[in-house]
Structure formats: C-alpha cells, structure tokens
C-alpha cells in the first residue's frame, strides 16, 4: 500500500472480551491492592532493597502472589502470545471511556497493517496525535494487550492515540517491525488532518520493544527527510541489544522480566546474530543522534533494561537533544500495564501523560 493511500476506518465498540476467570482474578488483585499497609507487607515479605532502591510495596505483593502460580516454560510463540493476552486481561481494570475507538488499516512497509485510533472525550479540536507501538519483545504484544495504556494516555494527555499493529517476529523478523513503524508514522503524519488531529503536533512513542521502534523510527524519519515527529515518548525502551549493562546483572532474575526472557525475544526478532550491531536494532549505538526530536524517557528502577534506557537518554542529551529522563525507582518493567493495581504505576503514567500533554502543547498556550 502506497504511503498516500488513506486507510479505511469504521467505528468500533470494544467490548470486554475477558473470560470470567480473568475478570475474577483481576478483581481479586484489585481487592488485594486495597488492603491495609500492614497486611500488604505481611503478604509481600520483608522490603526488597537493591542498588540503593526499595521495591514498591504493591509491586512486591503482586510479584509474591504471581510466584504462587505455576510459571510454564516458554514452549512456543503462540504460548507466549496467549500468556501476554491473559496477563493484560487480568491486569486491566474497567476500560476508560473514549469518545470513539476506530479500527483502521494504515500503510505498512509491504501493505496494509491494522491500527486502532483512540479519541478521548477530552480532546480539544484539533488535538495532537501520538503514534504508539506496543511492547511485547517484538513477538508477544498486540493491539488488545495494550488497549488499557493507550486509553490511559489518550484520556490523560487529551491526544488522539494511533496504536499500530506492526508485523511481529518470528514470522516477520527484523527489520520488518522497523519498516512498518516508519511507514505507519509517515502515513499518520501525512494524514493527521484526515484523522482529526493537528498535523503540526504528531508524536511517536512506545513501551519496551515499542519504545525501541519509536526511537528508531524517529531517527530514520529525520535521516530520510520525511515527516518527522515533534516528540519521542519512550517507556523503558530497549536501546541496545549488542551488550548487557549492569542492570541485567542486578535485576535479571526475580522481577518478572528475566534475562532469559530478553534473550528469547531477541533471538526470535534477530535470527542473524550480526544484526545486534545494526542501529535499527540498537539505536544507542547509532553513529549520530544529533537533531532528533525532544524525548521523554521513563525507566523502572528494578528493570534489566534500566541502564540502556538511561544511557540512550544521556546520549541524546550529549548530542544537544532536549531530554527529560525519569527513573521510577520502585517500579518494574511493564509498569504501564499496572495502573489499575499499583498506585505508583498510575502516578508514573500520569506523569508520562503530563509530559506528553506539555510536549505537544500549542505554542503560546
């Protein structure tokens, strides 16, 4: 599909497709989150302190409860995707109401790809637009797993959010996701007005592997001279798969995202080992990052990806790119998914949405 081809769109009501078990477990976890502090501490165990940080009590309690359930070994890609969908369904609270949610087909690198457009009730015409890439290790996430954080950002930032269903590995290994991310961002920038957004205020963002794609697509857009975002929103991004920093040693086991998990995802996304040195996979090692859009980078204290995300922020800053770096010291990887259960995660995402709103404010407003 050519970049000038407008995707079709239709109104779509997203119904709660969670099973009774998923809804019930989610309600149970939300009830546990409302326990008195003393009861939470009894359930969570002694405070977890590492690298000068203390793990948030609600996170620690949820991790303790999760450890009581059997953890199946990864046996197939479909198993990982099924578990990603189930986990997201359990963690999600009641869906945040939107003015409308629409399904689209937008331009990918080799044809149409799915997308979902969120229009919040608070949107002031014409609102800014965030092009969002979901996490999931380039393998496991999809539009449904990240419905909740997209609704949260749309509602709290007053922005349209276009969630992009890029091609996933291993069926479509690197650089398919990168190519789709860039094509979708270019399409969105060119058709922002038709989507109901302000063409002068288009941002790009994502979490984890999606943060990787957002960073890479921003650099490639600048380098190609095509439509470029005015802001990067990077949540605990993967920025360097060519090496492992100290945070892998510190937090590579016991904090839900383990080092073997990252190895598994990397190997399916990058079947060619030499590709780890490609800046499209590891944006931190790009030769030049000057002239990139301003960035908001959020990391989690207890995350194996913490150090590479912060190193990328510092690399941008050294190159003269305006950067706001925020470490949420008590949180773990994936905190964007925990807003219904963990108050500190909700605060982190409220701060993220505030940064997005401020970064996309009209000049003089």
Q: Maximum distance among all alpha carbons in the chain?
A: 59
Catalytic residue among 142, 303, 307, 328: 303
Catalytic residue status for 208:
yes
Q: First vs last Cα of the chain: how many Å apart? A: 38
Q: Are 152 and 339 in contact (CB under 8 A)?
A: yes
Q: How crowded is residue 320: how many other Cβ atoms within 10 Å of its Cβ?
A: 11
Instruction: Return the SS3 of 160.
Output: strand
Tell whether the torsion through CA atoms of 216, 219, 224 and 227 is positive or negative.
positive
* Contacts with 188 (C-beta within 8 Å, 6 or more apart), sequence order: 106, 129, 131, 162, 195, 202
Catalytic residue among 84, 186, 208, 282: 208
Q: 99: which strand partners?
A: none
Q: How crowded is residue 297: how many other Cβ atoms within 10 Å of its Cβ?
A: 26
Q: Are 188 and 180 in contact (CB under 8 A)?
A: no
Catalytic residue status for 79:
no
Instruction: Please state whether 85 falls in left (phi above 0), alpha (psi between -120 and 50) or beta.
Output: alpha
Catalytic residue status for 303:
yes
Cα 34 to Cα 31, 65, 126, 268, 345: the distances in Å are 5, 15, 39, 39, 15
How big is the CA angle at 206 (ends 101 and 208), to the nearest 5 degrees?
Answer: 130
Spatial separation of the C-alpha atoms in residues 37 and 47, rounded to whole Å: 12
H helices present in the chain, as ranges: 20-33, 37-44, 57-68, 77-91, 147-157, 176-190, 192-195, 209-224, 246-251, 259-269, 306-318, 343-359
Buried b (16+ CB within 10 A) or exposed e, 197-217: bbbebbbbbbbbbbbbbbbbb
Catalytic residue annotation: 208, 303, 333
């Amino acid at each position: 599909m050519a970049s000038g081809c407008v995707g079709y769109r239709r109104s779509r009501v997203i119904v709660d497709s969670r099973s009774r078990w998923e809804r019930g477990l989610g309600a149970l976890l939300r009830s546990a989150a409302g326990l008195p502090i003393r009861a939470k501490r009894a359930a969570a165990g002694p405070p977890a302190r590492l690298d000068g940080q203390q793990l948030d009590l609600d996170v620690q309690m949820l991790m303790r409860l999760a450890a009581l359930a059997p953890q199946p070994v990864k046996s197939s890609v479909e198993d990982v995707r099924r578990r990603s969908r189930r986990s997201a369904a359990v963690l999600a609270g009641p869906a945040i109401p939107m003015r409308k949610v629409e399904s689209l087909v937008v331009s990918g690198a080799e044809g149409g790809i799915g997308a979902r457009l969120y229009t919040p009730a608070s949107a002031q015409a014409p609102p800014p637009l965030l092009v969002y890439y979901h996490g999931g290790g380039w393998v496991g996430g999809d539009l449904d797993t990240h419905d909740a954080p997209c609704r949260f950002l749309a509602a709290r930032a007053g922005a349209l959010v276009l969630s992009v269903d890029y091609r996933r590995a291993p069926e479509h290994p690197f650089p398919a996701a990168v190519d789709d991310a860039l094509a979708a961002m270019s399409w969105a920038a060119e058709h922002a007005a038709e989507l109901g957004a302000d063409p002068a205020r288009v941002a790009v963002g994502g979490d984890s592997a999606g943060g990787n794609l957002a960073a890479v697509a921003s650099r490639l857009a600048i380098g190609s001279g095509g439509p470029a975002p005015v802001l990067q929103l990077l949540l605990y991004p993967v920025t360097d798969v060519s090496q492992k920093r100290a945070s892998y040693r510190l937090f590579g086991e016991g904090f839900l995202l383990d080092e073997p998990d990252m190895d598994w995802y990397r190997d399916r996304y990058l079947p060619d080992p030499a590709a780890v040195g490609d800046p499209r996979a590891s944006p931190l090692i790009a030769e030049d990052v000057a002239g990139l859009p301003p960035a908001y980078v959020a990391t989690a204290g207890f995350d194996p990806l913490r150090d590479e995300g912060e190193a990328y922020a510092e690399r941008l800053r050294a190159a003269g790119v305006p950067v706001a770096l925020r470490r949420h010291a008590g949180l773990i990887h994936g905190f964007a998914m925990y807003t219904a259960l963990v108050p500190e995660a909700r605060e982190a995402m409220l701060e993220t949405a505030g940064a997005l709103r401020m970064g996309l404010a009209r000049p003089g407003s």
